[in-house]
């Protein structure tokens, strides 16, 4: 018996589009199942290779333009990241009748797999807590949705 359909949420700032997330939920709803968002993390780094997917055997050579935030995440980028999380969680709230769970692919940015994929040694900020375990704007953007 199939009870739910999961969507791995290894997303970035431009993909998937919000409409695509809505389509996922609508498709799941049509067939009468629950939905699960798994492994959620939202990458802030550019993707100069136009790479999509999560095949961990794929690696690209390091390029400075692909690792722009080695000295910290600019406030403007952190704000956009928080806005993206808020948009995504707004959609999740719209479909809470079928959304069974959301799981994150890590707790803080320092332990994210995105620091080494698809380029080893990059500095990414995809999660809700920073490298010192402090909540980021993205964390508060989600909390503010349900206040």
Q: pLDDT for 24-47, tens place per residue?
A: 999 999 999 999 999 999 999 987
**How high is the pLDDT of residue 48?**
66
Question: pLDDT per residue over 56-105, tens digit each?
Answer: 677 777 788 889 999 999 999 999 999 999 999 999 999 999 999 999 99
Q: Distance between CA 53 and CA 58 in Å, rounded? A: 9
Fold classification of 4-145 is: TIM Barrel (3.20.20)
Count helices and strands (H / E) in the chain.
3, 3
Instruction: Output the pLDDT for position 51.
Output: 66
Closest by alpha carbon to 92, among 4, 143, 21? 21
Domain residue spans of the chain: 4-145
Q: What is the mean pLDDT of residues 10-19?
A: 95
Q: CA separation (Å) from 55 to 12, 88, 97, 104, 120?
A: 16, 24, 32, 18, 14
Q: How many other C-beta atoms lie within 10 A of the C-beta of residue 28?
A: 20
């Amino acid at each position: 018996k199939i009870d739910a359909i999961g969507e791995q949420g290894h997303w970035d700032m431009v993909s998937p589009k919000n409409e695509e997330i809505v389509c996922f939920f609508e498709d799941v709803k049509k067939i009468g199942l629950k939905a699960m968002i798994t492994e959620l993390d939202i990458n802030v780094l550019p993707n100069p290779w136009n790479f999509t997917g999560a095949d961990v055997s794929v690696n690209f050579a390091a390029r400075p333009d692909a690792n722009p935030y080695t000295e910290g995440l600019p406030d403007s980028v952190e704000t956009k990241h928080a806005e993206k999380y808020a948009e995504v969680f707004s959609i999740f709230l719209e479909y809470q009748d079928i959304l069974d769970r959301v799981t994150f692919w890590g707790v803080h940015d320092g332990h994210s797999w995105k620091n080494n994929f698809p380029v080893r040694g990059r500095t990414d900020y995809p999660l809700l807590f920073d490298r010192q375990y402090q909540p980021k704007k993205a964390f508060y953007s989600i909390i503010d949705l349900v206040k």
